[in-house]
Amino acid sequence: MAMKQMEDVHGFQPFIEIMDSTLRDGEQTSGVSFLPHEKLMIARMLLRDLNVDRIEVGSARVSEGEKEAVKMICRYARQIDRLDSVEVLGFVDGHVSVDWVESAGCKTLNLLAKGSLKHCREQLRKTPEEHISDIREEVAYAHSKGIKVNLYLEDWSGGMKDSPEYVYQLMDALIDTPVRRFMLPDTLGIMNPLQVIEFFRKMNRRYPDAHFDFHAHNDYDLAVSNSLAAALCGVRGLHVTVNGLGERCGNAPLSSVQVILKDHFHAKTNINEERLNDISRLVESYSGIAIAPNQPIIGDNVFTQVAGVHADGDNKGGLYHNALVPERFGRKREYAMGKTSGRANIARNLKELGLELTPEQTQRVTKRITELGDRKEVVTQDDLPFIVSDVLKHDVAEDRVKLVGYQVSLAYGLKPLANVKVEVNGMQYEGHSSGDGQYDAFVKAVRKIYKEYLDRTFPLLENYAVTIPPGGRTDALVQTVITWRKDDGRLMRTRGLDADQTEAAIKATIKMLNMIEAEVSHPVA
């Protein structure tokens, strides 16, 4: 049976439906609560940009804020003809959930039933027959209202382990109802892949025509493995969340499930992989839950080589590349530098930047980077020009925009002031402004120069992040990463490295201005 399924996976490329539950199950992460407009922005990106098949956007009866969010999402989904892709969790509660879903403008109810005898008896205090009767009545009522129903069998994994006869009794009684999908969760995250295979084989043998979804939890760090085991056994849909959000240890991450389905199982999905990183960053921002740097696919470090032997191997034919090329996800490979980098890594970064150094200069830069690595500094390609300048004490590139001088002042009770002189394509200009902070005053002064003297604008600041090296030493370098949004909506990031935070931000800004000048001088056709 397993061999036949594997042949199907590789020979016929089965289609797997992806249901994202970030806005419902993901919001159960401790400390995470999305505002209605944040839910709408996440839903828009999931449906429009990621092309997720379905999204579960909330739970019935929770709050007025929840209903407002569901209404907003449903209005948007209706506009793009994706209303059938929006689902809401509801309960066997005498039609209250059905009416709630209908009033919110949603057309699909994910009805929560009990998938184990233990939950049925101890939580509901009902017999299986009573629970089945209640479910059938709820499904019939929803059907009469034009609401489609998918059925969760909560604690299905526990039911298959301890009371499989109850699970079969439930399924036998409901298989002839209008339920579209039977969604089988590992509610407590207790299963391993071998059990998933065993239980799905049993379900498929008894109900070969049923549409089964699998909903994994990550308590044993097996959510992805269990999801793929379910796919191997012919499951038609998998439930995921962005960044693996979810209660306790979370759910199966969308990014990991997608790429493994495609690369290892040759399965088809509708997911647009180029936007996986974008949705992860959006959810990271709204949730406040940081993505681990080594998180597969979406972590900051996953496409960053540090070891010098790796850079050397890539120089000699991409020896350390795999199918997870960064361009696939709208990213690029970086060669970060640290104490294990070696000359090959640093030479590759210098070459990509167009910097030509003598062997003696390269050795001095390598020594400096090794020293930073010993202090646990993060050094990337964008930082390298600043390291070079710091070491060699002179500019190594002809910049079109140069900072001639600046002065920023900070006084109690007064707005910070900045006086700035910059050189743009050989001409010097001065400007001054106040701001909400020293850096804000600096940027406003530069914007004033560009507007008054050059009749131009430059990208808006989208995000500003500062990394302070461990130890808090006053002579330690500070890395400032600034994200800018261009007029066409594209994002660009620049970094500055300095002992002073404001100086680091200013360097990042000057770098951005040089990138803009380069585009103006050499526009892309």
The answer to whether the beta carbons of residues 287 and 293 sit under 8 Å apart is no
Q: Which amino acid is at 48?
A: R
- Which among 24, 181, 275, 348 is annotated as catalytic? 24
Work out the angle at residue 207's Cα, subtended by the Cα atoms of residues 202 and 212, and round it to the nearest 5 degrees: 85
The H-or-E segment that residue 185 falls in is: strand 181-185
Q: How crowded is the C-beta side of 197, counted as CA atoms within 13 Å?
A: 12
Under 8 Å between Cβ of 253 and 241:
yes
Q: For 357-366, which contacts have Cβ atoms below 8 Å and span 24 or more sequence positions?
A: 357/388, 357/396, 361/388, 361/391, 361/392, 364/391, 364/392, 365/391, 365/392, 366/341, 366/342
Q: Is 24 designated active site?
A: yes
- For 320, residues 6+ apart whose C-beta sits below 8 A from its C-beta are 305, 310, 313, 314
Q: Considering only CA atoms, which of 519, 514, 511 is closest in space to residue 494?
A: 511
Write down the catalytic residue from 27, 66, 138, 154: 154
3-class DSSP state of 138: helix
Task: Give the whole-angstrom CA distance, residue 288 versus residue 509.
Answer: 26
Q: Rounded to whole angstroms, how far apart are CA atoms 123 and 300?
A: 43
Scored b (16 or more CB within 10 A) or e, 310-331 reads bbbbbeeeeeeeeeeebeebeb
**Spatial separation of the C-alpha atoms in residues 192 and 186, rounded to whole Å:** 10
For residues 235 and 200, the answer to whether their CB atoms sit within 8 Å is yes
Residue 267, beta-bridge partner list: none
**152 three-class SS:** strand
Write the single-letter amino acid at 380. Answer: T
434 neighbors 449 (Cβ within 8 angstroms): no
Question: What are the backbone dihedrals phi and psi of residue 394, each rounded to the nearest 5 degrees, phi first?
Answer: -155, 160
Could you give the CA distance from residue 93 to residue 66 in angstroms, rounded to a whole number? 18
Q: Say if CB 208 and CB 175 are below 8 A apart.
A: no
519 catalytic? Reply is no
Active site residues: 24, 154
